[in-house]
Amino acid sequence: MNQELLERVRTRLVSEGREPEFAHGLLALSLPRPALLDTVRLLKGEFGFDLFLDVTAVDWPGRDPRFDVVFHFYSTRDHVRVRLKTAVPENDPVVDSLVPLFGSAAFMERECHDMYGIEFRGNADLRPILLYEGFQGHPLRKDYPKEREQPLVRYRK
C-alpha cells in the first residue's frame, strides 16, 4: 500500500481546511456537501483515484442531519483507498451526482436513491433499480419496518 501518496493527499486536504484521518488502511474524510464535487475532482485529477468503488448512505435516526452519504474511491495505480462522507438532512437529502466523472456512479446512485431516498443532482436517471416502479418508501431507512410487504402480484390464497 502506498502510504506516501495517502500522506500527500492528507497534506493537501489539510491545506484546504479539512480534517482527514487514517482508518483501517484508508483515508477517511468528512466534508460539507458543497465541497464534494470539487474534492472528488481533485482526487481523480491530481491524485489518480480513478476507480469509483461505491456509494451508499447510513441512516442515523434522531440525528440532525440524519443521513451520511458515503463514497469510496480506489487508485488503480497506487492501490490506496479514500472514503468521503457528507451529511445530508432528511428534508433536503440532495448531493451532487458523480456521473459526470464516473460512469459507474449511475447504477450505484440509483441503488442509493432506491434504498435511502437520497437525490443525486445531475443524475438524470434515478429510476428504481433493485426495487420496482411504484414502490413506496425507502427500505433501508431505519423507520421502514422490515415486515412491510408490497407485492406487485397479489399472494395466492
Distances, alpha carbon 7 to alpha carbons 51, 80, 85, 111, in Å: 19, 11, 19, 32
Q: Are 129 and 118 in contact (CB under 8 A)?
A: no
Asked whether position 34 contacts another protein by CB under 8 A, the answer is: no
With CB under 8 A as the contact rule, the residue among 18, 50, 90, 122 that binds another protein is: 50
Question: What does the block give as the cell for 26?
Answer: 484508508
Cis ω for the linkage preceding 65 (within 30 of 0): yes
Q: Which of 23, 64, 143, 151 binds another protein (CB under 8 A)?
A: 23
Residue 95 binding another protein, by CB under 8 A: no
52 within 8 A of 70, measured Cβ to Cβ: no
Nearer to another protein, 50 or 90 (CB): 50
Of the pair 34, 63, the CB lying nearest another protein is at 63
Q: How far is the CB of 19 from another protein (least distance, A)?
A: 16
Binds another protein by CB under 8 A, chosen from 83, 84, 93, 120:
83
